[in-house]
Structure 1
Amino acid sequence: MSILLVAKKDFLDAIRSLTLVAVVGAFTAFLAFFTYFKFTMSPMTTTTVSDLYQSSASVVAVIGTLLGYKSIVGERESGSLKFLLGMPHTRRDVVLGKFIGRVAVVVVTVIVGFAVVGAHYAVLADSPSATAYAVLIGKLLVPGAVFVALAIAFSAANRSATVATWGAIVLAVVFAFVWETVLSIVQSLMLPANAAVPNWFHLLTRLNPKYFYIDANTLELGNAAPFYLEPWFGGVIVAGWLLVSLGLAYVLFERSDLA
């Protein structure tokens, strides 16, 4: 119950500070523009709803990071953290409550954004699919939650909002933009042209929370698919990121002084 109280306060604070309005507005504007661009400016290729995923996931990753990086260190610097812990809340309650509250902001942002742009997609797509659209929304919520957890770990580990800010920026840039670029460079340097991509390379791609959903059915494998490319292993990857991030956030926060 205490966790939910912290989560409710965090979510209501996002509403009162207009953070939720700003995030929803920015994401909806991006999604509307990007949807129009993908379905009208790419006439030489067949565009499906899945083509909206990669860029949208990068934006959701950034949103999750920005929502989480000041969750604890911001209240530490303002002094409100002492007041919060003076109530019947443990530090575990604070970590988990803030995680739930910030994830709720991500959920509302993604659902509202796609609900508003839904009619836009239905008109522009050649073969619109409500099911595929709903699956896309579900996929995007997962990296959003993971990046909130990662950012909260940064927030709990630092006493300075400046340090937490730069850590969050690096985090977002690496996972949202740099990861696949580095892997593409490595692939071009290590593998001959037209050579089959090894399974371990697909695993490196999948370890990025953005690509947890990748499974053997979407890849051209020359042999039997290993277990780490099967659909269920995506859940293991996501659970690992969440448990490690939130566990680390709790341990660091539990050992730190409030002064």
Structure 2
Amino acid sequence: MSRYDVFRRDLRSVYRSRTGTAVAAILALSTVIAVGLFSLASDALAVAAVGGLLTVAVLLTLVFIGSPRSIAGAVIVFTVLAVGLTFAVADPAPYTLDRPSMRFAVLSVGSALSFLIPLVGLIGSYAALVGERETGSVRFLLGLPNSRSDAYIGKFLSRATVVIVPLVTGLVLTGLIVELTFQNGSFLGTLGLTIVSILYALLFVGIGLSASAYADSSNRAVAIAIAAFVTFRVGWTALRWLGIEHTPHRGSYPEWFFWFGRINPINAYIKLTTLFAEFEYGHPLIVTSTNTANTLVTSHAFAALVLCVWTALAPITGLLYFRDRDII
């Protein structure tokens, strides 16, 4: 059984277990609804009400359908309805002055995804390997003529597909809304945001899969995934601000403050989202340096390097451990 066979087998299993359903619904639907709420609607409350009702309706529908084809169909129907209803209630006047800008679109979508993607990436991958051990099917997975590397890579490709397909679907539809209803809205800018978001999603799929390779039970895998999320999201920032409280500085922050902050992959992702709109005063979620000595560490190139390194190391670390550990 090749890595491609593992990929197909695991993809079917994910959707049958409802994990794929949850990930698809959260990603593909929430991005469209979020931007629909921000588009220039003649009645924003009406958009919110319609979006809320459709979200509840589709999630209830997904509870009663089981096949991947039905799930995909429900997600597609819902997203098309969301986009259509957004345009139906939007103010069609092209000269309206209070339309939100491209900066607002990137700020809102990028900030939401910086929080949402880690969650769904970890949810979609934490049980990939440890679940096989708990059910005993790991003997079948590793008993066939394929290497552990093939099994691991097949699992990674499967879980990445579960997260990335709805993410791309949602962001492409978001790009259409942004292009047609926002001031200086750019579909190409949204595609750029999509590419960066794919890289970001692969990172947390890799972290979740590594947690699954390390853990002996699903509970422990969940604990590792939660710990990773909390560390990047909260702990990293807390340590940095605790450090600055006990470091003498005059007005500007010391150089280590930016180095420590910008090697966090979440901060790197947020920095890269600012490539696709004008952020004159920087992104509000990351500290902007006024010191020219910090130009390198606060640059887009450095952020891209940080995100690429994390994205590569996360799954490779799990693979190296999985190849040598006693599983059966």
Match of 1:154 among 205, 211, 215: 211
Aligned-partner Cα distance in 2 for 1:76–1:6: 15
Match of 1:50 among 84, 106, 112: 106
- What per-residue deviation string (whole Å, max 9, x for no partner) do you get for residues 177-219 of structure 1? 315652674487357899223333222222222232537x964
Distance 1:48 1:159, change over 3 A: same
Helix, strand or coil: the match of 1:54?
A: helix
Check whether the contact 2:27–2:170 (CA below 8 A) recurs between aligned residues.
yes
Opposite residue 222 of structure 1, the aligned amino acid is N
Match of 2:292 among 223, 242, 256: 223
Check whether the contact 2:126–2:212 (CA below 8 A) recurs between aligned residues.
yes
Aligned-partner Cα distance in 2 for 1:62–1:227: 30
Aligned-partner Cα distance in 1 for 2:179–2:292: 39
Q: Indicate the larger mover: 16-25 or 72-81.
A: 16-25
Report the Cα offset of residue 75 of structure 1. Answer: 0.6
Distance 1:21 1:194, change over 3 A: farther
- What per-residue deviation string (whole Å, max 9, x for no partner) do you get for residues 220-242 of structure 1? 44224454444443343234324
Opposite residue 131 of structure 2, the aligned amino acid is G
Aligned-partner Cα distance in 2 for 1:256–1:74: 16
Aligned-partner Cα distance in 2 for 1:35–1:183: 33
Check whether the contact 2:237–2:261 (CA below 8 A) recurs between aligned residues.
no
Match of 2:161 among 77, 97, 104: 104
1:65 matched to 2:142: no
Opposite residue 154 of structure 2, the aligned amino acid is G
Report the Cα offset of residue 26 of structure 1. Answer: 1.9
Report the Cα offset of residue 13 of structure 1. Answer: 2.9
Opposite residue 246 of structure 1, the aligned amino acid is P
Distance 1:62 1:130, change over 3 A: same
Aligned residues: 257
Opposite residue 6 of structure 2, the aligned amino acid is V
- What per-residue deviation string (whole Å, max 9, x for no partner) do you get for residues 148-167 of structure 1? 11111111111111111121
Q: Indicate the larger mover: 222-231 or 185-194.
A: 185-194
1:3 matched to 2:6: no
Distance 1:204 1:34, change over 3 A: farther
Check whether the contact 2:39–2:177 (CA below 8 A) recurs between aligned residues.
no
Aligned-partner Cα distance in 1 for 2:149–2:8: 15
Helix, strand or coil: the match of 1:48?
A: helix
Report the Cα offset of residue 130 of structure 1. Answer: 0.9
Matched residue, 2:305: 236
TM-score normalised by length of structure 2: 0.67
Check whether the contact 2:126–2:222 (CA below 8 A) recurs between aligned residues.
yes
Matched residue, 2:138: 81
Check whether the contact 1:20–1:109 (CA below 8 A) recurs between aligned residues.
no
Matched residue, 1:253: 322
Opposite residue 157 of structure 1, the aligned amino acid is Y
Mind listing any 5+ residue stretches in structure 2 that lack a counterpart?
45-97, 276-281, 283-287
Check whether the contact 2:199–2:311 (CA below 8 A) recurs between aligned residues.
no
Check whether the contact 1:24–1:113 (CA below 8 A) recurs between aligned residues.
no
1:199 matched to 2:255: yes
Aligned-partner Cα distance in 1 for 2:240–2:177: 33
Matched residue, 1:30: 30
Distance 1:187 1:50, change over 3 A: farther
Aligned-partner Cα distance in 1 for 2:289–2:17: 48
- What per-residue deviation string (whole Å, max 9, x for no partner) do you get for residues 96-131 of structure 1? 221122112221021111233344434542221112
Mind listing any 5+ residue stretches in structure 1 that lack a counterpart?
none
The aligned runs of 1:123-138 (5 Å cut-off) are 123-138=180-195
Helix, strand or coil: the match of 2:292?
A: coil
CA RMSD of aligned residues (A): 3.3
Check whether the contact 2:200–2:311 (CA below 8 A) recurs between aligned residues.
no
Query: Who wins on radius of gyration, i.e. which is larger?
Result: 2
Matched residue, 1:178: 234
